[in-house]
Amino acid sequence: MNTQTIIDCLEAVSEAIIAHETEIENLDREIGDGDHLINVKRGCSVLLEMRNQLAPLSAADAFTAIGTKLLGTIGGASGPLISSFFLAAGKVLKAAPANRPPAFADAFAAGVEAIRSRGKADVGEKTMLDVLIPVARLLSRLSEEGSSLDVLCAKAKDEAQRGMLATKDMIASKGRAYFLGERAIGHIDPGSKTSQVAIWAVCDRLLAVSVQNN
């Protein structure tokens, strides 16, 4: 993955969020505070405006620049969490050998761990981490095993879908839905849906780029 691929993935995520905005907005109205989609779309818009700035940077520096920008752009609780993901991922890539395949899995795992640590949440608490943590663990294992991109993407998409759907039967112990108690049962967490949409978009774009380059 190079910086141009990162930019391509940002565009893909933005397009996917817009394509699913009604669904995400409805989920947030059911158990959230109603501003989740607004903040996510704001972040996507800002990142798309950074394309020319990101283009000459290394992948590591691009992630760092993204994280720094998002920290002052996305409102609510999402800003610091998503920012911490990119900053941690950039730090790992900076220290890794250039283009070592598992390095990006390591970077993703470090980013997810930064969200977990900053948000003081974990799997089973009806948040985006119910998608991100299982996917991070899966990617780390598959990368170390030398799995192909096709296998990585297919299994990551399945895991993201599984994690997102699992939040429907959970009682939230973090976030706005925490105050709803058992009333949150039966509703998918909006952050987990956004994470699933983003992971699917990135996987599809990576596969498309791979086909173009071969």
H/E element, 62:
helix 59-71
**What integer best gives the mean pLDDT of the chain?**
89
pLDDT at 133: 98
- Tell me the two tokens of residue 163: 């994690």
pLDDT band at 152 (very low <50, low <70, confident <90, very high): very high
Would the CA dihedral through 140, 60, 88, 212 be positive or negative? negative
pLDDT band at 201 (very low <50, low <70, confident <90, very high): very high
CA distance 50 to 71: 14
* pLDDT at residue 101 tops 60: no
Higher local confidence (pLDDT), 184 or 65: 65
- Rounded to two decimals, what is the model's pTM? 0.92
* pLDDT at residue 79 tops 60: yes
CA distance 49 to 71: 15
- Tell me the two tokens of residue 95: 């220290």
pLDDT, tens digit (0-9, with 9 covering 90-100), for 167-192: 999 988 776 666 666 777 888 999 99
pLDDT at 194: 95
Q: Which residue has the tokens 């989920």?
A: 27
Report the candidate in 6, 76, 5, 90 with the shortest Cα–Cα distance to residue 38. 76
Specify whether the CB–CB gap between 136 and 170 falls below 8 A.
no
With respect to CATH, is domain 3-213 assigned 3.30.1370.60?
A: no
pLDDT, tens digit (0-9, with 9 covering 90-100), for 5-28: 999 999 999 999 999 999 999 998
CA distance 85 to 66: 10
Biggest CA-to-CA distance, the chain: 51
pLDDT at 75: 66
Specify whether the CB–CB gap between 135 and 199 falls below 8 A.
yes
Specify whether the CB–CB gap between 121 and 86 falls below 8 A.
no
Rounding to the nearest 10 degrees, give the CA dihedral for residues 31, 185, 132, 178: 50
* pLDDT at residue 200 tops 60: yes
Report the candidate in 42, 52, 93 with the shortest Cα–Cα distance to residue 72. 42
Residues in the chain: 214
